């Protein structure tokens, strides 16, 4: 019986890991769909490398930095070339890679490829594992009772805050803001690819959240997993609907790309508490995320004046933080609405703030250093021509037009 339970647990986690891996395709499609075709190949390369570099780094040392024996609750004792529980390694690798790939969307269309590789290397090496250790590796946040079941903070906010810093230091795309500060639209080249990406992400999330149960071979686990499927789905659906309604009212017509972002915001928000909230609460969390995402994206674009082509900061950073905090309200174990006590809410706030501080600081140092040493941004000429040709020497859509490439 023991062996059977072990086998079922392992099978479920591995299947979930494969589903989460497939989210890489989701990210790639969202990012390329929401940006211009002249940069499509570059987006693909960044996403491909986020996963490839992340896989190697996480196996080499990242995993142990996150899950090793805790050193004062801050990080795990590093151990090179991991050779232990492979199920855990692969499952955690795909999660780490998710955090890393969030940033490529916000920094799209104007980041030097080599500089992006350097950033990607370091987020998987240090930034993600350390905060991950605090939350899941036995570190200080888990000790005080911080609850982030599948990673609204550990994965999504980490990516979201790094995206904010990167996009901010990078500066906006040429033509995005006029002299008087007005924001211009730079439409993506394929809403359909973007939608495909969102559906793939939603699909993969059925591995991301229920997989974090890390077990399936008992009645309790099976029931937990099935409930997590439902809370996850309801949050996404509610968020999509609310985002659509808000854009319908605010922009006079239901906006396709913002509604797509809405679904993702719902998924990100429920990730922290999908195991401890009721389906009804999940739908509420989704609705809140739907509101937050529309205003969050506008805030980043028009108030902070940070050019984020895909809304990564809003979807992952802001919704991740909000979703994590809401666990303190809606958790059936110790949430405000259940117990009347604010302590869970307070702990959630501490965790969100601590991780934000860690990521904002370290990514600032990282991006600033890269910018000073090798330069973060491409030249304006390269940006006009397109990164596919300038960085990679290819045309992603060579057959769609009479062949020709812009050369100065």
Partner 1 sequence: MDKITKVDIITRPDKAEVLKEALNEIGITGMTFSHVLGCGLQKGKTEYYRGNPYSIDLLPKIRVETVVCEVPVEKVVEVAKKVLRTGEIGDGKIFIYPVENVIKVRTGEEGVKAL
**Residue ranges binding partner 1 (CB under 8 A):** 175, 384, 389, 393-394, 402-408
Cβ closer to partner 1: 8 or 394?
394
Instruction: Give the C-alpha distances (Å, rounded to integers) separating 324 from 14, 225, 280, 321, 359.
Output: 26, 19, 17, 5, 16
| Minimum gap (Å) between residue 187 Cβ and partner 1 | 15
Cβ closer to partner 1: 35 or 348?
35
Cβ closer to partner 1: 14 or 186?
186
| Other residues' Cβ atoms within 10 Å of the Cβ of residue 226 | 11
Instruction: Give the C-alpha distances (Å, rounded to integers) separating 377 from 30, 69, 190, 370.
Output: 22, 39, 24, 10
Classified as helix, coil or strand, 375 is coil
| Minimum gap (Å) between residue 43 Cβ and partner 1 | 18
C-alpha 135/C-alpha 95 separation (Å) is 13
Cβ closer to partner 1: 14 or 394?
394
C-alpha 270/C-alpha 292 separation (Å) is 13
| Minimum gap (Å) between residue 381 Cβ and partner 1 | 10
3-class SS string, 224-271 = HHHHHHHHHHHHHHHHHHHHHHHHHHHCCCCCHHHHHHHHHHHHHHHC
| Minimum gap (Å) between residue 408 Cβ and partner 1 | 6
Cβ closer to partner 1: 4 or 407?
407
C-alpha 183/C-alpha 312 separation (Å) is 17
CB 34 within 8 A of CB 309: yes
Which candidate, 282, 305, 307, places its Cα nearest to that of 35? 307
| Minimum gap (Å) between residue 35 Cβ and partner 1 | 17
Cβ closer to partner 1: 268 or 389?
389
| Minimum gap (Å) between residue 31 Cβ and partner 1 | 23
Cβ closer to partner 1: 5 or 384?
384
The percent helix, strand, coil of the chain (3-state, each to 5) is: 70, 0, 25
CB 376 within 8 A of CB 115: yes
| Minimum gap (Å) between residue 399 Cβ and partner 1 | 12
């Amino acid at each position: 019986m023991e062996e059977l339970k072990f086998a079922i647990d392992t099978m479920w986690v591995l299947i979930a890991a494969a589903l989460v891996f497939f989210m890489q395709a989701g990210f790639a499609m969202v990012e390329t769909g929401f940006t211009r075709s002249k940069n499509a190949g570059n987006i693909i390369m960044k996403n491909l490398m986020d996963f490839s570099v992340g896989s190697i780094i996480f196996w080499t040392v990242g995993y142990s930095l996150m899950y090793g024996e805790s050193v004062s609750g801050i990080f795990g004792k590093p151990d090179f070339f991991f050779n232990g529980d492979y199920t855990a390694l692969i499952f955690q690798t795909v999660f780490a890679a998710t955090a890393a790939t969030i940033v490529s969307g916000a920094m799209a269309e104007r980041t030097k490829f080599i500089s992006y590789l350097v950033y990607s290397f370091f987020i998987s090496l240090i930034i993600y594992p350390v905060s991950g250790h605090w939350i899941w590796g036995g570190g200080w946040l888990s000790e005080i009772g911080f609850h982030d079941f599948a990673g609204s903070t550990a994965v999504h906010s980490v990516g979201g805050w790094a995206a904010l810093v990167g996009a901010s230091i990078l500066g906006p795309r040429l033509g995005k803001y006029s002299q008087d500060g007005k924001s211009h639209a730079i439409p993506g080249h394929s809403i359909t690819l973007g939608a495909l990406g969102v559906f793939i992400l939603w699909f993969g999330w059925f591995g991301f959240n229920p997989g974090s149960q890390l077990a399936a071979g008992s009645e309790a686990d099976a029931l937990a997993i099935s409930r997590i499927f439902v809370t996850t789905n309801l949050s996404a659906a509610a968020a999509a609907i609310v985002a659509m309604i808000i854009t319908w009212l605010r922009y006079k017509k239901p906006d396709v790309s913002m509604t797509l972002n809405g679904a993702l915001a719902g998924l990100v928000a429920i990730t922290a508490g999908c195991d401890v909230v009721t389906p009804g609460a999940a739908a509420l969390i989704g609705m809140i995320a739907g509101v937050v995402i529309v205003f969050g994206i506008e805030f980043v674009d028009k108030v902070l004046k940070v050019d984020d082509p895909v809304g990564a900061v809003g979807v992952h950073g802001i919704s991740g933080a909000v979703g994590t905090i809401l666990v303190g309200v809606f958790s059936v174990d110790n949430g405000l609405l259940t117990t009347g006590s604010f302590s869970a809410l307070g702990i959630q706030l501490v965790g969100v703030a601590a991780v934000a501080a860690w990521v904002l600081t370290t990514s600032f140092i990282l991006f600033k250093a890269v910018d000073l040493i090798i330069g973060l941004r491409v030249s304006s000429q390269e940006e006009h021509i397109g990164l596919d040709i300038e960085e990679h020497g290819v045309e992603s859509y060579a057959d769609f037009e009479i062949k020709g490439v812009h050369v100065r």
